[in-house]
Chains A and B, each alone.
Chain A
């Protein structure tokens, strides 16, 4: 990498460029923060009002849309959240160097959107005061909601661990790059000393973790598909395609969101070099490809529904194609999917078209279209119940829109916080870690203890999961099995913790000479 030319020197402008958002804090930042805080204050107030007055403030109703735009938004956010792992894991597993610098930015997206998704669930349920506690405490394993709670927690914890281990070295480096917060970074790096073996172990763990997390990511979106797909009572939902359909949808909305975020930070922090146009083009090609796949799913779904379908299925499909939603549907399908796909395709096949603006525009269109698609999944079904119950048309209220949109301020806040504290781009490998690292820094484990831990944790973890399932009537089932899963996810951390009291002098470490013999044992 070009940044390695001047390697080793924390004050090299190339390095400073990489960590600009962390080390530089201008008035613009404070203005932005203030804006977010104001929006969130309003958000809290009107949410509280919803708690006292009731969900009647929304446009939803028992004889209308039982679920509304909030649920559509949850699905959308969960979808976006997948992109972090998708990119960074794939980058890592497939060694796609060109996209390496995208990985962490993407992982941040994951954390931000997952958290916001959970917040939106809080908005949607009638009793946010109960829902987390009750779902953990009384969770029923036959409820898709409990599955999603389980996988989301797993996914959240897993990707956090992954993110952490993947950037542990950079955090350690930050101690030298940004001495003002050296203490903070040293503590955060859990005594990472960058000995070759440690680095190598870290790398390997992260690689395996990536391999493990990819299927989890798939499961999260499958489960969300199942929440809809398993509802025999709902025409337009009950459909084996839902799980893969949702995963694909997640990829589409995730990548489109990623392109937008990347473009924004690129501009804000002048990362033209680190996030080159060719990268955007590459992302565009991929986005175009998955969009095409998605349209294919979309088509088969609509075809099955309208062709000799059970009465209600047909009615729901027709609501989209010709009915009360047609006015929204066709613009979304054409402007939101077909045209952007075409544009991306043209750019992809054309050697000398490389336009970030084009890619981003398409990404925006597609992302909005995907949000609308979630709306089309959730709402029309309610307009055609199996029994001829009289239903009213769903008209989201300003209150409802307000909450949904304001929740994005929350996502922005988290993203800002992450970008502000953690180097969003990878620092050059050559950058020394231990320059100022004192040997006493951080935690360490006696290897015997580690061995014991590594033997016990899986036992206890799996034990808890089994217990939660087998004795679900006696114990707070989901709470127990989730604890088990979380416990298992600490294994990578245990592996990566340094072993043995460091005796070596910093200098040695800096030169990367192997630490005491105990280690290899």
Chain B
């Protein structure tokens, strides 16, 4: 059983937006021009949601990073008339922009505002800087379609593919050892591999005495970049994974639980 999930520890989170920027850079997300921003046009898949309360001298402000929740009961999947939005077996809510008709009912149905519509032709944004496009990330989405955070599935799938091809991060190959063979990588191995990488970052195993750059390429971009490692990623169906542990933490909660969307992104309270 495999269900990718993310845990975001608000006690670690600094609200720095590194995740947003890494996401933009990894997934070729076009920018909205000033006049477009003024109309509320934004393309960012990952955003900061700011809860402001109280006032001087005791104001409070909670900055909450908001990727797609990849809900188990995703309203967007329900309302999509053409199945352009669908769940992968591993729980990722995908978007097929080749099929999307751009009715935006998914965008309307998402209580988290996690979906963005291509109000303009993204090519016009890369025209001048086409070289900033990342061929390893998500290809540009066509105009008039809805797009969204896909948990950087391209990185996860690549990990699986590379491992079965005998490539991939050294630490992972060591951890899995002989269990990887020509037969290919099972879901269990795949999720274990992700957890190994996750622990490498979360438990601060990096050392100046060796450098295997590939460790940076397989976890979702936001998780890889997050400076305070507020984000953990993995298979929540595996009770031993870091994510599953966080999900059991007494500080754990999900956004808008009352709407019954059963998100796969878990937050941990501050303090």
In their complex, do chains A and B touch, with some C-beta pair under 8 Å? yes
Chain B residues with CB under 8 Å of A126's CB are 100-104, 117-118, 143-146
A54-B144 contact, Cβ under 8 Å, with A126-B104, A131-B101: yes
Chain A residues with CB under 8 Å of B79's CB are 143-145, 230-231
Which residue in chain A gives the minimum CB-CB distance to B39?
A61
- Cα distance A388–B53 when bound, in Å? 11
- Cα distance A103–B260 when bound, in Å? 47
Chain B residues with CB under 8 Å of A127's CB are 100-102, 142, 144-145
**Is the beta-carbon distance between A146 and B118 smaller than 8 angstroms?**
no
* Proximity string of chain B (185-227) to chain A, C-beta cutoff 8 Å, 1 when within and 0 when not: 0000000000000000000000000000000000000000000
* Proximity string of chain A (128-172) to chain B, C-beta cutoff 8 Å, 1 when within and 0 when not: 001100110111101111100100000000000000000000000
Chain B residues with CB under 8 Å of A149's CB are 81
Q: Does B166 contact A (CB under 8 A)?
A: no
A135-B50 contact, Cβ under 8 Å, with A62-B41, A62-B113: no
| CB contact between A146 and one of B43, B47, B66, B81 (< 8 Å): that residue | B81
A143-B101 contact, Cβ under 8 Å, with A66-B117, A126-B118, A231-B108: no
| CB contact between A389 and one of B49, B120, B143 (< 8 Å): that residue | B49
Which residue in chain A gives the minimum CB-CB distance to B116?
A62
- Cα distance A387–B84 when bound, in Å? 25
* Proximity string of chain B (87-125) to chain A, C-beta cutoff 8 Å, 1 when within and 0 when not: 000000000000111111101111111011111110000
- Cα distance A227–B143 when bound, in Å? 24
Q: Taking chain A's interface residues, is the majority helix, strand, or loop, or is none over half, making it mixed?
A: loop
| CB contact between A63 and one of B108, B113, B118 (< 8 Å): that residue | B113
Q: Which of A125, A233, A389 has the most CB of B within 10 A?
A: A233
Q: Does A55 contact B (CB under 8 A)?
A: yes
**Is the beta-carbon distance between A55 and B117 smaller than 8 angstroms?**
yes
- Cα distance A140–B107 when bound, in Å? 17
**Is the beta-carbon distance between A385 and B144 smaller than 8 angstroms?**
no
Q: Does A67 contact B (CB under 8 A)?
A: yes
- Cα distance A411–B81 when bound, in Å? 26
- Cα distance A166–B118 when bound, in Å? 47
Q: Which of B47, B80, B81, B118 has the most CB of A within 10 A?
A: B81
Total number of B residues with any Cβ neighbor in A under 8 Å: 51
| CB contact between A56 and one of B75, B111, B119 (< 8 Å): that residue | B119
Which residue in chain B gives the minimum CB-CB distance to A472?
B83
Chain B residues with CB under 8 Å of A225's CB are none
Q: Does B42 contact A (CB under 8 A)?
A: yes
- Cα distance A67–B117 when bound, in Å? 11
> What is the minimal beta-carbon distance from B134 to any residue of chain A, in angstroms?
22
> What is the minimal beta-carbon distance from B72 to any residue of chain A, in angstroms?
15
- Cα distance A211–B82 when bound, in Å? 33
**Is the beta-carbon distance between A232 and B119 smaller than 8 angstroms?**
no
Total contacts A-B at CB 8 Å: 162
- Cα distance A53–B120 when bound, in Å? 6
**Is the beta-carbon distance between B81 and A140 smaller than 8 angstroms?**
yes
**Is the beta-carbon distance between A386 and B99 smaller than 8 angstroms?**
no
**Is the beta-carbon distance between A145 and B75 smaller than 8 angstroms?**
no
Q: Does B270 contact A (CB under 8 A)?
A: no
Chain B residues with CB under 8 Å of A51's CB are 144
Q: Does B34 contact A (CB under 8 A)?
A: no
**Is the beta-carbon distance between B119 and A55 smaller than 8 angstroms?**
yes
Chain B residues with CB under 8 Å of A131's CB are 101-103
Chain B residues with CB under 8 Å of A392's CB are 38-40
> What is the minimal beta-carbon distance from A315 to any residue of chain B, in angstroms?
15
> What is the minimal beta-carbon distance from B229 to any residue of chain A, in angstroms?
24
- Cα distance A414–B102 when bound, in Å? 27
Q: Does B259 contact A (CB under 8 A)?
A: yes
- Cα distance A142–B112 when bound, in Å? 21
> What is the minimal beta-carbon distance from B86 to any residue of chain A, in angstroms?
9
Chain A residues with CB under 8 Å of B255's CB are 387
**Is the beta-carbon distance between B99 and A134 smaller than 8 angstroms?**
yes
**Is the beta-carbon distance between A134 and B39 smaller than 8 angstroms?**
no
- Cα distance A455–B15 when bound, in Å? 69
- Cα distance A308–B111 when bound, in Å? 21
Which residue in chain A gives the minimum CB-CB distance to B112?
A387
- Cα distance A385–B51 when bound, in Å? 13
Segment 384-410 of A: residues with Cβ below 8 Å from B: 385-392, 395
A134-B101 contact, Cβ under 8 Å, with A60-B39, A126-B145: yes
**Is the beta-carbon distance between A227 and B101 smaller than 8 angstroms?**
no
Which residue in chain B gives the minimum CB-CB distance to A231?
B109
Chain B residues with CB under 8 Å of A137's CB are 82
Which residue in chain B gives the minimum CB-CB distance to A144?
B79
Given contacts A62-B41, A144-B79, 16 further A-B contacts (CB under 8 A): A55-B117, A55-B144, A56-B36, A59-B39, A60-B40, A62-B40, A64-B39, A66-B104, A126-B104, A127-B144, A140-B83, A146-B81, A149-B81, A230-B79, A231-B75, A388-B50
Q: Which residues of A contact B (CB under 8 A)?
A: 51-56, 59-67, 124-127, 130-131, 134-135, 137-140, 142-146, 149, 227, 230-234, 385-392, 395
